[in-house]
């Protein structure tokens, strides 16, 4: 940083003493933004107003949480000159606990996420003992650097997680697969047919999230979007089963997922290990 730029930053820091605004970049998707919402509620609970910058491309996905959007998000034109631009996610990963048990999580879901949300209504096509299997593909495999960070052997993990659930609670009445790559699931997860009747669900991102939230039994991948389906569903259906992988991201915490709830069943090992898959 040049001396001139450093001086400018120091001068702005002296002027900007107002509310904190999380300066969220374009790459942050809904799952990441929901964690920033907990940070905003934490500030509000301490009498320190916090806001979150709304990138225009994220407005549609936030429509599922109208109270969150109204309460904490601001457009760039609404950011005040005196607001402090902050990055609350920076450097936090190394200090996260092994399990996610924030005392604000339940109040956040009940008071901020669920009011006015379509997620309050359960999908009509889920049996009482259905197992929802969420499969994350997309950019985890299409983008090489994301595959290097997040990619796992999806087939090996999915079958291991389903096996653990069946061993603990018996075979489900049906298996409903929710994924961002349904064609891949139909091709590579045919072994699930040996467990229970399988249906690959087609729908919007909101439909997918609703299925995760209201799943009687839920298998999650290493995805923040998926974790939020787990968190919200735990509030609405507190006695249900959730299974999730130990692994999250090779670039931080030795790969360990710090976002899992204490009540979730964690899969620690899969056949072939947690190394980067070839595809």
Tens of pLDDT, residues 14-71: 555 599 999 999 999 999 999 999 999 999 999 999 999 999 999 999 999 999 999 9
Q: What is the pTM for the complete model shown? A: 0.92
pLDDT computed for residue 21 by the predictor: 98
Give the confidence band of 90 by pLDDT, cuts at 50, 70, 90: confident
- Whether residue 227 contacts residue 218, with contact meaning beta carbons closer than 8 Å, is answered with no
pLDDT computed for residue 96 by the predictor: 67
Six-digit token pair at 214?
Answer: 């209201």
Q: What single DSSP character describes residue 53?
A: E
Helix 224-236 × helix 30-45 angle, to 10°: 60
Considering the chain, what is the average pLDDT of its residues?
Answer: 93
């Amino acid at each position: 940083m040049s001396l001139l730029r450093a001086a400018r930053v120091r001068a702005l820091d002296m002027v900007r003493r107002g509310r904190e605004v999380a300066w969220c970049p374009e790459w942050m998707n809904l799952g990441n933004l929901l964690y920033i919402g907990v940070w905003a509620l934490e500030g509000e609970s301490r009498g320190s107003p916090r806001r979150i910058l709304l990138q225009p491309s994220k407005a549609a996905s936030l429509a599922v949480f109208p109270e969150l959007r109204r309460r904490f998000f601001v457009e760039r034109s609404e950011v005040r000159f005196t607001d402090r631009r902050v990055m609350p996610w920076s450097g936090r990963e190394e200090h996260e606990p092994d399990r996610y048990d924030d005392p604000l999580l339940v109040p956040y879901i009940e008071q901020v996420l669920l009011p006015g949300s379509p997620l309050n209504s359960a999908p009509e096509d889920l049996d009482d003992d259905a197992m929802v299997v969420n499969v994350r593909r997309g950019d985890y495999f299409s983008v090489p650097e994301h595959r290097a960070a997040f990619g796992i052997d999806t087939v090996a993990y999915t079958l291991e997680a389903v096996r653990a659930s069946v061993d603990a609670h018996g075979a489900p009445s049906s298996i409903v697969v929710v994924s961002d790559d349904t064609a891949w699931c139909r091709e590579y997860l045919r072994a699930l047919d040996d467990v229970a009747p399988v249906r690959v669900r087609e729908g919007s991102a909101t439909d997918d999230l609703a299925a995760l939230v209201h799943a009687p039994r839920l298998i999650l991948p290493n995805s923040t979007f998926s974790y939020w389906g787990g968190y919200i569903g735990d509030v609405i259906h507190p006695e249900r089963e959730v299974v999730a992988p130990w692994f999250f991201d090779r670039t931080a915490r030795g790969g360990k997922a710090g976002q899992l709830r204490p009540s979730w069943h964690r899969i620690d090992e899969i056949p072939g290990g947690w190394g980067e898959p070839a595809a």
